[in-house]
């Protein structure tokens, strides 16, 4: 597999269960050595996508390549080089942590002489080595997740697939797990992670795919997507309430480099607005003008949309689009009725 | 086919069963009832009754047995002949009932159990093929039943030789037919039962459904095995070898079909036509 070939590529994948579509023309591309986050609500098709990538499930149609192989025909080759952590850790409760790891190592064909060292190394990496002799049934949720993560890497796979890896974890454990996932890409692993927690994806994702109803709505690097949805630079400004000033931002509109002003809300402490600029360099001029007009600036921040804003903007625009299409179809059908 | 992975699946499953006290305790009790308690009570009763009319009546009924079987019966007294016949012919079917009951209970829960516990997700994403998983699970289901039977059989042999042996001139058990039954005929029937039950386990929604459905398979199979096991003991060595060979060929064919019939998707917790 060449360096430029994506680690995972799904194109036009369809999958349905009892005539209910789970994946509907899904396209996902995960570049090598990056963290690709599949973002979407429950039932968006994230887990089904992961299952199709390893060949655990066959799609109804469409093409899938993982690590250069077709999982439907070369599933074993894909799965040998994959580490998977499911939403539920899928561990054997009656066995000890050690036995769970050894079982995985043996199934993945780790050399018998290396098994003990590999098991110990991966357990140490995820801080679970002290509990390896205990039965997994007695582990806490956090320990189980750590053990599942250790199990996913002990055969040194090139591709890691994590399905909601922090589900059920407290914030501290979740942060630790996300930190460990970040570390893994530094080692050259490719990570595909599913989540519906936007905060988790923030700062972790190199590449995002927003899913809804089994379809990819948008995909790309977070910065690119932000630029796509908010192509203009802007700053958020909040000023203190001044009874003498009816429209504190009015004067800004005349300032060169200011495109427009969008009032956002009237907070209890004073008005706020989003000021759209030609370039961020105009910001000092805006500040100077506000001060010159006697405004007391409470807050001024460059508008850097969070992943959450991006996610909702994507879903809003998709909904608007489909509502528009529905309305157009409705108008068309009305027109047909009139013609008849 | 990677045999190392197959044995790994089998070994891990057996290890889990060994760790489950709630599984092997009833298994041990069942084995000891069939192989120790019932034979001990019956054989000791006959020994204590001596040559009374009831025992003589039973001895007379032995004449209905096939000539080959009658020729095998040892002992000079009615008591000795009755004890010998009971030990060698009456308890034979127990050797079939115990392993089939235990192994099908394990087999029924094997594939659907992975799915119910969520561990099927791990197996589905592992490099092990569905054939390797199926065969590994089949081996793991076979071991507890066969192991219990062999331990029970050893205990039964001791009991029979200690109680009936003095009546018929020394230790005589197991007879050649019994060796054939235990080592040749029985594994063949176990294979038929388990291959069918595992296929069911890979198709149904829950362990409870698998247990119910496996009953439908095992009950007639137990009846057939019971009859065939008796036939194997009453008949000639050739008959026994033939019965075993037929059971093995059906079992191997059924296992082969089962290996190819299990779908990886069935290990996952999805409702795809299940």
Where are the domains positioned within chain A? 8-227, 231-302
Q: Which of B13, B125, B129 to mutate to test the interface with A (most CBs of A within 10 A)?
A: B125
B15 in contact with A, Cβ within 8 Å: yes
| pLDDT at residue B238 greater than cutoff 50 | yes
- Mark out the alpha helices in A108-252 (DSSP H runs): 112-125, 141-153, 171-186, 198-201, 222-229
* Cβ <8 Å between B265 and A57: yes
pLDDT value of residue B178? 83
pLDDT value of residue A330? 61
Which residues of chain A are modeled with pLDDT < 50?
340
* Cβ <8 Å between B127 and A107: yes
A112 in contact with B, Cβ within 8 Å: no
Q: Which residue has the tokens 């009237």?
A: A266
pLDDT value of residue A331? 62
CA-to-CA separations, A51 to A10, A87, A260, B130, B202, in angstroms, rounded: 12, 12, 48, 15, 18
Q: What is the mean pLDDT of residues B54-58?
A: 74
Question: Which overall architecture, per CATH, does domain A8-227 show?
Answer: 3-Layer(aba) Sandwich (3.40)
pLDDT value of residue B233? 64
**Which of helix, strand or coil describes residue A276?**
strand
Q: Where are the domains of chain B?
A: 3-265
Nearest to A90 among B4, B8, B121 (CB): B121
Q: How many whole angstroms separate alpha carbon A180 and alpha carbon A56?
A: 26
User: Which comes out higher in pLDDT, residue B200 or B228?
Assistant: B200
**Which of helix, strand or coil describes residue A96?**
strand
**What is the CA angle A223-A229-A230, rounded to 5?**
80
A91 in contact with B, Cβ within 8 Å: yes
Class of residue A328 by CB neighbours under 10 A (exposed 0-12, middle 13-18, buried 19+)? exposed
Question: Other C-beta atoms within 10 Å of A58: how many?
Answer: 15
- Mark out the alpha helices in chain B (DSSP H runs): 3-19, 21-32, 38-49, 53-61, 67-72, 78-85, 94-117, 120-124, 130-163, 165-168, 176-180, 186-201, 207-234, 237-261
**Which of helix, strand or coil describes residue B121?**
helix
Q: Which residue of B lies nearest to A90 if distances are taken between CA atoms?
A: B119
Q: For residue A151, list chain B residues with Cβ-Cβ distance below 8 A.
A: 122
| pLDDT at residue B182 greater than cutoff 50 | yes
Question: Other C-beta atoms within 10 Å of A94: how many?
Answer: 18
Q: What is the pTM of this model?
A: 0.83
Tell me if B133 sits within 8 A of B259, measured CB to CB.
no
Q: Which of A14, A55, A56, A110 to mutate to test the interface with B (most CBs of B within 10 A)?
A: A56
Q: For residue B120, list chain A residues with Cβ-Cβ distance below 8 A.
A: 90
Sorting pLDDT into bands at 50, 70 and 90, what band is B4?
A: very high
Nearest to B268 among A51, A89, A94 (CB): A51
| pLDDT at residue B154 greater than cutoff 50 | yes
For residue A330, cis peptide bond before it (omega within 30 degrees of 0): no
Tell me if B266 sits within 8 A of B203, measured CB to CB.
yes
pLDDT value of residue B92? 67
| pLDDT at residue B65 greater than cutoff 90 | no
Alpha-carbon torsion (A216, A217, A219, A223), positive or negative:
negative
Sorting pLDDT into bands at 50, 70 and 90, what band is B12?
A: very high
**Which of helix, strand or coil describes residue A133?**
coil
Mean pLDDT of chain B: 84
* Cβ <8 Å between B119 and A54: no
pLDDT value of residue A107? 96
Q: How many whole angstroms separate alpha carbon B101 and alpha carbon A118?
A: 40
Of B10, B4, B71, B23, whose CA–CA distance to B198 is shortest?
A: B10
* Cβ <8 Å between A91 and B122: yes
A107 in contact with B, Cβ within 8 Å: yes
A90 in contact with B, Cβ within 8 Å: yes
Q: For residue A82, list chain B residues with Cβ-Cβ distance below 8 A.
A: 125
Q: How many whole angstroms separate alpha carbon B25 and alpha carbon A299?
A: 72
pLDDT value of residue B271? 47
> A220 pairs with which residues across the strands?
A208
Q: Where are the beta strands (DSSP E) in chain A?
A: 8-17, 20-30, 35-39, 61-66, 82-85, 159-163, 190-195, 207-212, 215-220, 233-239, 258-267, 270-277, 297-302
| Distance between A271 CA and the closest CA of chain B, angstroms | 52
| Distance between A108 CA and the closest CA of chain B, angstroms | 6
B18 in contact with A, Cβ within 8 Å: no
pLDDT value of residue A24? 92
Q: For residue B16, list chain A residues with Cβ-Cβ distance below 8 A.
A: 92, 94-95
Q: Which residue of B lies nearest to A100 if distances are taken between CA atoms?
A: B12
pLDDT value of residue B7? 96
| pLDDT at residue B270 greater than cutoff 70 | no
A118 in contact with B, Cβ within 8 Å: no
**Which of helix, strand or coil describes residue A324?**
helix
**Which of helix, strand or coil describes residue A104?**
helix
| pLDDT at residue B51 greater than cutoff 80 | no
pLDDT value of residue A85? 92
Sorting pLDDT into bands at 50, 70 and 90, what band is B274?
A: very low
Domain A231-302, CATH 3.40.50.300 — does that match?
no
Q: What is the mean pLDDT of residues B38-47?
A: 85
Per-state percent for chain A, helix, strand, coil, to nearest 5: 40, 25, 30
Nearest to B127 among A90, A95, A109 (CB): A109
* Cβ <8 Å between B264 and A56: yes
Q: What is the mean pLDDT of residues B34-53?
A: 82
User: Which comes out higher in pLDDT, residue B126 or B215?
Assistant: B126
Q: For residue A108, list chain B residues with Cβ-Cβ distance below 8 A.
A: 126-127
Of B38, B40, B41, B73, whose CA–CA distance to B58 is shortest?
A: B73
Nearest to B16 among A18, A94, A106 (CB): A94
| Distance between B113 CA and the closest CA of chain A, angstroms | 11
Q: Which of A107, A108, A136, A161 to mutate to test the interface with B (most CBs of B within 10 A)?
A: A107
| Distance between A18 CA and the closest CA of chain B, angstroms | 6
């Amino acid at each position: 597999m060449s360096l430029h070939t994506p680690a995972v590529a799904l194109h036009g994948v369809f999958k349905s269960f009892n005539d209910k579509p789970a994946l509907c023309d899904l396209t996902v591309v995960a570049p090598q050595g990056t963290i690709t986050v599949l973002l979407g609500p429950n039932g968006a098709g994230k887990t089904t996508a992961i299952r199709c990538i390893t060949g655990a499930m066959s799609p109804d149609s469409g093409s899938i390549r993982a690590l250069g192989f077709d999982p439907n025909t070369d599933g074993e080759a894909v799965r040998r080089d994959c580490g998977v952590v499911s939403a539920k850790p899928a561990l054997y409760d009656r066995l000890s942590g050690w036995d769970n790891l050894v079982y995985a190592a043996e199934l993945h064909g780790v050399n018998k002489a290396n098994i003990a060292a590999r098991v110990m190394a991966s357990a140490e990496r995820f801080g679970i080595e002290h509990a390896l002799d205990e039965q997994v049934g007695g582990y806490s949720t956090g320990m189980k997740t750590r053990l599942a993560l250790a199990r996913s890497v002990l055969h040194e796979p090139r591709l890691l697939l994590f399905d909601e890896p922090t589900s059920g974890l407290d914030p501290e454990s979740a942060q630790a797990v996300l930190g460990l996932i970040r570390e893994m890409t530094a080692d050259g692993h490719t990570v595909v992670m599913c989540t519906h927690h936007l905060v988790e994806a923030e700062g972790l994702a190199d590449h995002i795919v927003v899913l809804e109803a089994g379809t990819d709505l948008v995909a790309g690097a977070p910065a690119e997507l932000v630029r796509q949805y908010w192509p203009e630079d802007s700053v958020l400004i909040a000023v203190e309430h001044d009874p003498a000033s009816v429209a504190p931002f009015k004067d800004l509109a005349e300032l060169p480099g200011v495109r427009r002003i969008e009032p956002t809300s009237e907070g209890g402490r004073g008005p706020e607005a989003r000021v759209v600029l030609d370039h961020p360099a105009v910001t000092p001029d805006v500040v100077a003008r506000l001060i010159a007009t006697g405004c007391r600036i409470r807050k001024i921040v460059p508008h850097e949309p969070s992943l959450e804003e991006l996610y909702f903007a994507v879903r809003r625009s998709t909904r608007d689009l489909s509502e528009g299409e529905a309305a157009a179809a409705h108008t068309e059908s009305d027109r047909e009725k009139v013609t008849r | 086919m990677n045999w190392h992975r197959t044995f790994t699946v089998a070994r891990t499953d057996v290890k889990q069963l060994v760790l489950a006290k709630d599984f092997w305790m009833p298994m041990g009790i069942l084995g000891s009832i069939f192989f120790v308690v019932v034979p001990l009570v019956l054989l000791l009763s006959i020994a204590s009754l001596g040559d009374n009319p009831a025992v003589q009546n039973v001895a007379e009924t032995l004449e209905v047995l096939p000539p080959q079987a009658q020729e095998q019966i040892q002992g000079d007294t009615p008591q000795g002949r009755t004890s010998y016949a009971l030990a060698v012919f009456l308890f034979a079917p127990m050797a079939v009932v115990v392993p089939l009951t235990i192994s099908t209970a394990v087999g029924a829960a094997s594939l659907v159990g992975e799915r119910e516990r969520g561990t099927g997700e791990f197996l589905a994403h592992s490099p092990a093929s569905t054939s390797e998983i199926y065969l590994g699970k089949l081996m793991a289901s076979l071991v507890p039943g066969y192991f219990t039977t062999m331990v029970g059989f050893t205990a039964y042999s001791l009991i029979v030789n200690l109680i009936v042996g003095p009546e018929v001139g020394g230790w005589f058990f197991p007879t050649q037919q019994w060796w054939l039954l235990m080592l040749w005929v029985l594994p063949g029937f176990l294979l038929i039962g388990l291959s069918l039950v595992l296929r069911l386990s890979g198709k149904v929604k829950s362990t409870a459904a698998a247990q119910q459905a496996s009953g439908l398979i095992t009950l007639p199979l137990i009846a057939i095995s019971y009859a065939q096991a008796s036939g194997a003991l009453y008949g000639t060595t050739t008959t026994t070898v033939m019965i075993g060979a037929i059971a093995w060929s059906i079992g191997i064919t059924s296992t082969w079909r089962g290996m190819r019939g299990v779908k990886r998707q069935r290990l996952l917790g999805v409702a795809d036509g299940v």
